[in-house]
Structure formats: C-alpha cells, structure tokens
Structure 1
Amino acid sequence: MKPTFIPCALATLLLAACSQTPGSEDAVAKDATAASDMAMPAAEHAAMAAASKAATEAMAQTAKTASASGTVESVDAGAGKITLAHGPVDALGWPAMTMGFKATPEQIASVQPGQSVRFEFTAEGMTATITRIEPSP
C-alpha cells in the first residue's frame, strides 16, 4: 500500500500547488469587474466611432483662407480653372508649386498666361478656390 499512497499524495499536492497563485483569484475577479464596468453596447460603440469620424472629417474639411503671389500658367474657361505657379503659402504650410485653382468666369477673364498676380483663396481638402485675384504691381 505504501508505494501507491506516496505518488497519489504527491500528485494531489502538485496539482493543488499549480492551480493556486497567491492573489490570483482576487486579480481575476478585479479584472472581470473592470472589464464589465467598461463594457458598452455595440450600438453605442458604433455611434461613438461615427461621431469621432465626423469630427475628424470636419476638421480636415474646414476651409482655410490664404494668400499668395504667382504667375498664371494657363487659363481653362471650360473647366473653370486658373493654373498658377505660386510661391510658398506659409499659412497652410505649402511649398512653392504649380496647381489649378477653381475660379469664376470673371476671374478667368481678368488674367492671361504669363501674368504676375496676387491672389487670395480658400483651401478645403484638396480643392482650392480663388476668392480674389489681381495683377501684381
């Protein structure tokens, strides 16, 4: 009987020791409580995500006004655009570049390629629209 009793006793002691970590029951209970405190319905989570996305898009799409000087590269009345090679636009952090700006028919008629101009515009996302343009002195 002795040979069977000792291995069984040792196995029982080892299993008991392995299944118990000091304070583990308390930690697991606290983690479960904390997780249940933070649980939120899927609909509420989706609403928060949509609100966050809308706020981010609104900030990105807010029109910013700036001014610059440049040279008219081309005029496209059909597309309603004036292409300008302009200097840096510090207000927007833009380097000097050549780009197309939306313009009214009156603005398009007031300039010609090669002309130096000063202009004001709004930038909204990737769209820039001239609000005022005049020849440079």
Structure 2
Amino acid sequence: MTIKLRAEIFDPWRELADFQTQAVDIAGKYGATGIFVGTMRDFNQGDEVRGMYLEHYPGMTEKQLQHIVDQAQSQWSLLDVLLIHRIGQVSPNDTLVLVAVWSAHRGDAFDASRFIMENLKSQAPFWKRETLESGQIRWVEKNSDGYLQQP
C-alpha cells in the first residue's frame, strides 16, 4: 500500500504504469484495477475558479489516509492500493487525486476505490482555499457530495 502527498503536478497514468511495473509481487494475481482520477475544475458553486491552495496537517493527514486504506483492506480483498493526493497550489485541469486499487475481482476493486475516495473527501484533514476569477479568496466548505459507505 502506497500513500503519497505531492506538491508538484503529476501524471496519474504515468504513476499507474510505473507502480504496476514495479508491483511484481501481484503480477498475475489481479483481475481488476479500480481507478479514480480527480481533476480540479475551473468552477465551483456557480463561480469561475482560477486556482486553489490545498492545505493539510502533516503527519495527521497521512495517518488518516492510512486509516481509510486499512478500513478498505479489512472490508474487501485487496492486493494493493496506490493513493496520491496533491497539496499546495493547484490550477484548473491539474490532477488532484489518484486512487488505484488492485484486486482479484472487479467488485472489490470498484467498491474499495469508491470507499477510499468518498471517505478521503469527508474524513482526511485537507482544507481548500479557492481564488475566484474576480480575485476573491474563499474557503471551500462543502467537500463531499454526501455519499458514504461505512465498513
């Protein structure tokens, strides 16, 4: 299981390819890879957004992300997980998050990847400060669409 916080832009497809190439211990064992890639939009709450700053609580954020991945592992049969999340300054069209889950079966991969993503959005200590096209700066208050699946 790999969890990374990144201040720099990353290519989720390159990260997946590199990770899978190096994951020789699961080669031939997985039948499904559940993938979610989240990208920054240029709009939110009816306003145009030109940038966002993602703050986190070092140490606590990683610990909470690990707890979420551990919960998923206890509920589904997973072979490996890759979770990468941006921090710092982000621009529209930048990748914000990559969640990839490898499993022998698609149901586990689908369900676990959604569980990780939804719980990350509602439980991980990230704070988003948007810069609007008007120059106004605001904190994002609603961070989830309300879907949660508890183990």
Q: TM-score, normalised by structure 2?
A: 0.18
Task: Compare the two structures and name the one with the higher helix fraction.
Answer: 1
Q: TM-score, normalised by structure 1?
A: 0.19
Task: Compare the two structures and name the one with the higher strand fraction.
Answer: 2
